[in-house]
Amino acid sequence: MKTICFIGRRAKNLAGYNDISKYEKFVDMLASYLAMEVTENTTFISGGAQGFDQLAFWAVDIARSRAKGNHVIKNVIYEPHKFQSNGWVLDDELFGKVNYRKILNAADAFKCLKEDYSDEASIVRALYERNHEMVNDSDFVIALYPDDRWKELKGGTEECMRYAHANGKIIKQITYEINDEAELIPTGLIQNGPGNKMVIIKSPFDTYK
């Protein structure tokens, strides 16, 4: 059995919160890539957050129909705490609360790491703990990040990528750009391995270079 988790940036760092058309090419190519990764029974773990987490969840659903063989593909959510969507302003929009409830209902399995929290610091800790548990439970990580600044910048995605790297996990990093039409476009795939070894991998994303 293979387990893969997703790490990536929020919608504000991608193509925004409202227009699904800005993400359609990305989700299609991500689904094709994920189908290639399915070589045995495979579990995909995402965090359900607004942005790459939710895009990856729906791409896994599409990948089921594209994967070769009779493999079992599971789509799992790790929620940091049961109030994850409470502070979201959006409701019916692409990354809104309604869509999040659809994701939770569609998931093959669901894990809530913390039932409650006492203050803002506890919320932040829950997010980091969720990210770390996703990495710990996975064989490798698929990350959406445009360059190598994750090695030094602050932020949840950056910290989680460093955590994965420090713990010997292979990171398959999808690079991307926002094109002139404000679409999120994948541009390549880099494998970050132990000892800072980097390998550029041939992938479906190469067609957009």
Range of weakest confidence among 75-79, 92-96, 149-153: 92-96
pLDDT (0 to 100) of residue 170: 94
10 compared with 66, residue with greater pLDDT: 10
Range 194-204 average pLDDT: 69
| For residues 64-86, average pLDDT | 87
Say yes or no to pLDDT of 208 above 60: no
Does 152 or 115 have the greater pLDDT score? 152
199 vs 47, which has greater pLDDT? 47
- State the Cα–Cα distance between residues 45 and 48, nearest whole angstrom: 9
pLDDT band of residue 118 (cuts 50, 70, 90) is: low
Residue 204 has pLDDT above 90, yes or no: no
How crowded is the C-beta side of 121, counted as CA atoms within 13 Å? Answer: 0
Percent of the chain with pLDDT over 90: 65
pLDDT score, position 117: 64
Query: Does pLDDT of 198 surpass 80?
Result: no
* pLDDT value of residue 126: 86
pLDDT at 143 over 90: yes
- pLDDT for res 62: 94
Nearest-angstrom CA–CA distance, 204 and 185:
12
The reported pLDDT for the residue numbered 107 is 96
Q: Quick one: pLDDT at residue 134?
A: 97
Tell me the CATH number of domain 2-208, given options 3.40.190.10, 3.40.640.10, 1.10.3720.10, 3.40.50.450: 3.40.50.450
Mean pLDDT for the chain overall: 89
What confidence score (pLDDT) does residue 96 get? Answer: 85
Q: Which two tokens stand for residue 143?
A: 């990350």
Q: Which DSSP letter does residue 155 get?
A: S
Question: DSSP alpha helices (H): ranges in 38-119?
Answer: 52-66, 97-106
Query: What is the rounded CA–CA span in Å between residue 107 and residue 76?
Result: 6
Give 196's pLDDT tier (boundaries 50, 70, 90): low
State the pLDDT at residue 28: 93
Q: Which residue reads 């990171």 in tokens? A: 171
pLDDT(209) > 80: no
For position 114, what pLDDT does the model report?
74
